[in-house]
Structure 1
Amino acid sequence: MSTLAKYHDWAAGRSAPRLTDWLREISEPDWSAVVNHPLFDALAEGSLPGEEFADYMVQDYGFVDPFTALLGHAIGHAPGMADRVVLGQFLGMLTSDEDSVFQRTFETFGVPDATRHAPTYLPATASFLHLLRETGASASYAQMLAVLVVTEWLYLGWAMRITRGKSLDPLYDEWIGLHDNQAFQAFVAWLRRRLDEVAETLDEAEFARMTERFRETVAQERAFHDAVYSG
């Protein structure tokens, strides 16, 4: 049975099936492992040591460059201005508000310039960076959307799940706040809707490639978060 046929078989038993719900289901247990990762509980409780938070942010900052490039490629491959406007607005947030949190974290915790701009990446980080670069350089718009849905929906998932503790470090609080606000929720909802729509136009081969790209991105997210958190 082809991947597309498996989706249609799953959808036939549901009153309001969504492709993105199916993609999430077939990405278990990795999906739930990321959303429920102890790193985010420690972050919300304020029990994550500042040095470890800084180390995590150094590794995470490595994604900014290939991720902005991926967004740029997606804007170029988008079918029209409506998609380009939404993706462009998110790109602006990423390079302003989110970048500001990174820079202030590095300043607060004394991360040297050399570490900020030329860190030693963990193997899991390097593998994930390769996936982002390869997706931007050679993948289809549907596959780009699949990667974006995973990265942003997972972050919304953990941010909406956790409960922030009292007297939380302002930088911890701000990092969480970037991923649980109404604008971010609306962007994730848009990404899901567009992937649902675009997937309807795919042939069997491209549908399978898009599905595999989604699942691989989820697996990479889990490996990354397992690697950056020592517990």
Structure 2
Amino acid sequence: MSFSARLREHNASTWDAAVGHRFVTELWLGTVDPAALQAYFVQDNQFFDAFVAMLGATVAGADRPGPRIALARQLGLLAGPENDFFARVLDAFDVPLPDRSDPELVPATRGFLDLMHHARTSGDYATCLAVLLVAEWLYLDWADRPDAEPPADAIALEWIDLHRGPAFAAWVQFLRTEFDRATAALDDPEQERVAAVFARAVTLELEFFDAACAAV
């Protein structure tokens, strides 16, 4: 079993709770309370700059040309369609400018920002990949429901579509492969350190969904 698969299995209860969260279920049904959805996107918008910076650090930390190009291409996609999506959603909810740039942060958001800052400033490729992998893989897991009826709500559907499909699945598979390669040569203490980062990210994903539901 690969290291990524072992970590996914080790964190299965928290991971599955996030993937099957009430917020996710209601997102698929198009029944999320508008206040909860607004709170979710206001908080998620605070990740964007930190996530871009962390992905940039991952590009810089890559030790081979091929992975560096793949990561750089994803960085361009992130700065394009996903950035545009956030701007449109916050406009649709008529979110005031202060709440876009400097809202009151819930603990899960602060925790994620701290984790991404740690990964970026560590300069450690495997640490950056651990956070990236959880963020993208867990979202693919809840967004990839081929037999589910798509929601009628346009915002919910576009958010789901940004995290599923062949291109996004290939991106997650690349991250898994690269993470497994980057961690293969680590000794046991280093693997445990990276595993702790992975587990922390999974916990924060669940707490972030909890916070969105608690907003109403």
Bin of the TM-score, shorter chain as denominator length: over 0.9
Which residue of 205, 217, 220 corresponds with 2:204?
220
Query: Does residue 1:50 correspond to 2:34, yes or no?
Result: yes
1:143 maps to which of 94, 102, 127: 127
Residue identity in the other structure for 1:143: T
Mapped to 2, the partners of 1:21 and 1:216 lie a distance apart of 16
Correspondence for 1:100 among 63, 76, 84: 84
- Counterpart position of 2:137: 153
Q: Distance in 2 between matches of 1:141 and 1:149?
A: 12
Q: Is the 8 A contact 1:30 1:218 kept in 2?
A: yes
Structure 1 contact 70–144 (Cα < 8 Å) conserved: yes
Structure 1 contact 51–109 (Cα < 8 Å) conserved: no
Aligned to 1:12: none
Unpaired stretches in structure 2, ≥5 consecutive residues: none
Q: How many angstroms does 1:139 deviate by? A: 4.9
CA contact (8 A) 1:20 1:195 kept: yes
2:201 and 2:30 map into 1 onto residues whose CA distance is 28
Relative to structure 1, the CA distance from residue 215 to residue 88 in structure 2 (aligned partners, 3 Å threshold; closer, same or farther) is same
TM (norm. structure 2) is 0.94
Specify whether residues 218 and 139 from structure 1 end up closer, same or farther in structure 2 by C-alpha distance, changes over 3 A only: farther
Contact 2:54 2:117 in 1 (8 A): yes
RMSD over aligned CA atoms reads 1.4
Task: Give 1:101 shift.
Answer: 1.1
Tell me which structure has the larger Cα radius of gyration.
1
**Aligned-pair identity (%):** 36
How big is each residue's C-alpha offset from its partner over 1:74-113, in whole Å with a ceiling of 9 and x where there is no partner? 1111102211111111111111111111111111111111
Query: 1:21-170 maps to which residues of 2 (within 5 A)?
Result: 21-161=5-145, 163-165=148-150, 168-170=152-154
TM-score of the aligned structures, taking structure 1 as reference length? 0.88
Q: Which residue in the other structure is 1:184 paired with?
A: 168
Question: Structure 1: where are the runs of 5+ without partners?
Answer: 1-16
Equivalent AA in structure 1 for residue 153 of structure 2:
D
Contact 1:164 1:173 in 2 (8 A): no
CA distance in 2, matches of 1:116, 1:43: 22
Deviation at 1:45, TM superposition (A): 0.6
